[in-house]
Amino acid sequence: MNPCYPQKLITEESSIEEEFFKIGKLLGDKKILVLEIFNLLPEEIKRATVLRDHLAKRMLYEFGKPLTTSSSSYHCFGGNQNLEIKNLYLAIRAAKSRLNPSDAEKFIRSISDPNNHQDFLFEMRPVIYLKKGLNPKYESESNCAQNKNVDWEVGGGEYTILLEVKNRIGSTAEHLEYIDKMLSELSSGVDPENIAPPEAPNSEKLFKSIEYKFNNQENTNVLQGAWINTGMKEDKKSLHSCFKALDKRKIQFAIIAGWGKRAYILSVNEACKKTILEYFDLIESSDLISFDGAKT
């Protein structure tokens, strides 16, 4: 067990298998299906410690490395190690039910990497509630730049969606690092007037490298974009400014959302937004956006 996890927040311990059966029962899944889903897990994840966070009232499993800043000087324990087990179940369940066997195997193999476990796991998020009748293809090379691929090609509908998924929660560690530094300066007697408050998130980092994955899209029945999880509120002005600067021949939409169904959508037009909300069963929301430049 991670010694940095506050022991006073733990109310019980369990196992991946036991919790999978509880989740499966709530979802109405048959026991044989739950067992099949569990058996698909990499062995190292099957053995992961499971605990109940009393404060968050969620069952979490421990797997992966701590978040670090780009300088690797700050380590944020918890956020990238103690993950909600329900999301793991839903991701494996979606891989089994919506992907062809080869793609499912490729995805499940990828999440065994402790260094990138959460990043790869989150790649399955768009498929979990994907509209019935649509066909997701994992790691597609359709209309991609040379030697590139995108996480998803979703066909079977009026529009084909090419989607890149990014788990950009590293900025959370950088934000916490600055706050930690600020508190340290305060405790050492530095005048608060001489300490700059944390800046609002710079959304430019969210779209880094995404635009260059795609070729120009001339087919009006194909929409290209990204699903980005940030782990914190994004400044609306910065977000829209960065999206506006993207080449709209390559990027027509961006989804700002985590594991839940609430999402903030940036798009070239309302028809595009409507399609994205419908295909991925999302609820349009501003919960993840800061409208006043608030430093949160």
In which band, very low, low, confident or very high, does the pLDDT at 295 lie, cut at 50, 70 and 90?
Answer: very low
* pLDDT tens readout for residues 88-112: 999 999 999 999 999 999 999 999 9
117-127 confidence digits (pLDDT tens): 999 999 999 99
Selection from 9-18, 71-80, 142-151 with the highest mean pLDDT: 142-151
Mean pLDDT of 51-59: 78
DSSP collapsed to 3 states, the chain: CCCCCCHHHEEEEECHHHHHHHHHHHHCCCHHHHHHHHHCCCHHHHCCCEEEECCCCEEEEECCCCEECCCCCCEECCCCCEEEHHHHHHHHHHHHHHCCHHHHHHHHHHCCCCCCHHHHHHCCHHHHCCCCCCEEEEEECCCECCCCCEEEEEECCCCEEEEEEEECCHHHHHHHHHHHHHHHHHHCCCCHHHCCCCCCCCHHHHHCCCHHHECCCCCCCEEEEEEEECCCCEEHHHHHHHHHHCCCCCCCEEEEECCCCEEEEEECCHHHHHHHHHHCCCEECCCCEECCCCCC
Domain boundaries, the chain: 1-100, 123-296
pTM of the model: 0.83
